[in-house]
Amino acid sequence: MLTVCGSNPNGFAALGLVVSAIAFLFAVAVVGAAARRLPQASTVVYGGTAAACALIALWAAVGLAGGGPDAALVLPVGLPWIQAHLRADALSAVFLIVVNLGGITASLFGWGYERAHHESHGGSQDGPVLPLYPLFLAGMNMVLIAADAFTFLLSWEFMSLASWLLVLSTHRDPDTPKAARLYIIMASFGTACLLLAFGVLATAHGDYSFAAIRAHAPEAGAAALVVVLILLGAGSKAGLVPLHVWLPLAHPAAPSHVSALMSGVMTKVAVYAMIRVLFDLLGEPEWWWGGVTMGFGALTAVMGVLYALMQDDVKRLLAYSTVENIGAIVIALGLALVFKAAHTPVIAALALAAALLHVVNHSLFKSLLFFAAGAMLTATGSRDLNRLGGLIHRMPTTAVLALIGAAAISALPPLNGFVGEWLLFQAILNAPALSEWSLKIEIAVVGAALALATALAGACFVRLYSIAFLGRPRSRAAAEAVEVGRAMRLGMAVPAVLCVVLGVLPTPLIRLFEPALRLLVEAGPFDGRAYQPWFWLAPTSAIGNSYNGLIMLVVIALLSVVLVLGIHRKASDRVRWSIPWGCGFDGPDPAAVTQYSASSFGQPIRRAFGSTVFRARDHVDMPAPGDTRPARLSVTWTDPAWAVVVEPLAGAVGWLAEKANRLQFLTIRRYLTLMFLALVVLLVMVAVTQR
């Protein structure tokens, strides 16, 4: 029997529309599996997926514009005594827009990406991807509308397995099996932590629906355990340090449009899980929840950007950059928890609005940059920065769009990345409103760490863009590159345009967040102020700052025009000859080898930060006089998380597996004895918990 409930059961608010769109994604997956070798299969799969995502995103946007949707369904599936509870509220709607907007742009780019590989390789290269791609998006959407622990965990695991199989679609790459194996281990660890967290939340009443959990807030000790488990479980999927180790391996291994979804969208589903539990299901927060969360976020932001600065693989650099941006989002969530616990809901709403804005922004510019990486890979066959260069002449459209993405992620005005960072710093600067001196000091340190991460992110993407697109080609493939097709360029253009629009006019989007903010912190970021125009961002703040993207855009444009005119008027047109700088080489050598490389560009920062944190070392092989071998420079570094977390755990798992292997050789009598003892232990546990 199907049960429908909700306060606004009109056509847009009916959750059945979203469920039908998700069911359509499953149908598209079946078509993709049956016809994946046909030339038209990619058109059907990517077109159908984009249509379903557009429908869900439109439903969510209209629901938010109307004050926030509140529709629910109870489906007669799942465990007999639980069923499947589905619900979409304002928080779900925000993330439904993020997930499905990413699905639309990834589908458009993926269609062109598959066609390019089909034409260049004489056959479909995305065959294994076609049936899994819509399933991945269906799984993420199911997580967002799940309203009980069983449905949530089932959808979460479905999302993880679909993305794992998408990573394995490039199994011919020798690095893929290792990446996929580590990903499935970390995904299983995260699911186990979430399972334990929901078990603790439902222990007191035995009801796994979110409504029942919300009505029975756990005691302080149980709540503390849930906070730790949710940071471990959802944090491992989002990429919090030191649980990030799978991300830079798995994200680059997948096809580029899938990498964009995993990095720009799937990590936001993990952020949704954090918000749902910490702000909604756990009840009134304690101040230390936010302190711990901010600490993890600051560590993640700084370490993530340092990791990125030492990468020469474009997609791995972007994956590590995602770690840094997730750190910024988690800092904002920690601030919101702190201010909510301090009973300053308006500033809590400001911090949470900064988190949601950065969620949207990162999904846009990170998808754009992964698409640009896919375009470079399609045109040159390489992801190595040291084999690129000069692509601005061969791929001008991609170069312009990638420049927008690089500037946005570097938080340059007037793009959306700047607005998100600006709003987050507004929340940080309100720390004097707190009474706890320990929190004031921590927030000051976290603010400094965030400023450092932002500056290093700028250096990181100057390095990426200049090495890949400027200078001379460093390989024949880069010199012979051609611009990618229209579909791929359009897939990049949509998020690029949105990066500009949301940077210039962020206020309408933030006002769209208001129903979710009032649901979670019972306030909005504009409370206490008179109505502000749609082009002016002036949130409630103790320091009273404001932002006008239109004015900033006009000022930057005018200054640019004045600068160009001044240079052309004042510069001499007389031809002057001089020997160009040869990067330390004697004489004007036009060879590409005389340019700065990716390694040399990052060497100062690598030596300043990485020599101690990552044990980064430069190894120079300099031949003796008379030896005709070329000199070689190699760089080695170590991720501390591998030494501190992964290797000890891997050793422990190996030891346990070796010991458990003896169970294969027991007699029947000993097997029966073990089963009897296990039954006794379970009965004792039940007896204890039922007291």
- Contact between 386 and 320 (Cβ < 8 Å): no
Please classify residue 669 by burial: count the beta carbons closer than 10 Å to its beta carbon, then call 0-12 exposed, 13-18 middle and 19+ buried. exposed
Which of 98, 40, 30, 33 has the alpha carbon at shortest distance from 64?
A: 98
The predicted pLDDT at position 632 comes to: 79
The predicted pLDDT at position 593 comes to: 67
**Which residue is listed with tokens 């990903």?**
183
Least confident of 81-85, 279-283, 336-340: 81-85
Separation in Å, CA 1 to CA 73, 77, 161, 581: 11, 10, 29, 77
Q: Which residues contact 2 (CB under 8 A, 6 or more apart)?
A: 73, 74, 75, 76
Least confident of 79-83, 353-357, 575-579: 575-579
**Does 8 score more than 50 pLDDT?**
no
Confidence of residue 12 (pLDDT cuts 50, 70, 90): very low
9: left (phi over 0), alpha (psi -120 to 50) or beta: alpha
- What's the mean pLDDT in 549-567? 86
- Contact between 487 and 112 (Cβ < 8 Å): yes
Cβ neighbour number for residue 580 with a 10 Å cutoff? 10
**Does 585 score more than 60 pLDDT?**
no
Confidence of residue 544 (pLDDT cuts 50, 70, 90): low
Q: Which residue has the higher pLDDT, 647 or 162?
A: 162
C-alpha torsion sign, points 112, 117, 120, 125: negative
Confidence of residue 119 (pLDDT cuts 50, 70, 90): low
- Contact between 595 and 583 (Cβ < 8 Å): yes
Separation in Å, CA 8 to CA 63, 86, 96, 164, 519: 9, 15, 18, 37, 16
The residue ranges of DSSP E strands in 56-193, in sequence order, are: 71-75, 84-88
The predicted pLDDT at position 329 comes to: 95
- What's the mean pLDDT in 262-281? 93
* Amino acid found at 672: L
Average pLDDT, the chain: 85
Which of 407, 320, 255 has the alpha carbon at shortest distance from 399?
A: 407
Q: Which residue has the higher pLDDT, 81 or 511?
A: 511
The predicted pLDDT at position 430 comes to: 85
* Amino acid found at 296: F
196-239 pLDDT, tens digit each: 999 888 876 777 888 888 888 888 888 899 999 999 999 999 98
Cβ neighbour number for residue 295 with a 10 Å cutoff? 17
- What's the mean pLDDT in 473-478? 87
609-634 pLDDT, tens digit each: 777 777 777 778 888 887 778 777 77
123-180 pLDDT, tens digit each: 444 557 888 999 999 999 999 999 988 999 999 999 999 999 998 887 777 778 888 8
347-404 pLDDT, tens digit each: 899 999 999 999 999 999 999 999 999 999 998 988 888 888 889 999 999 999 999 9
pTM over the 0.95 mark? no
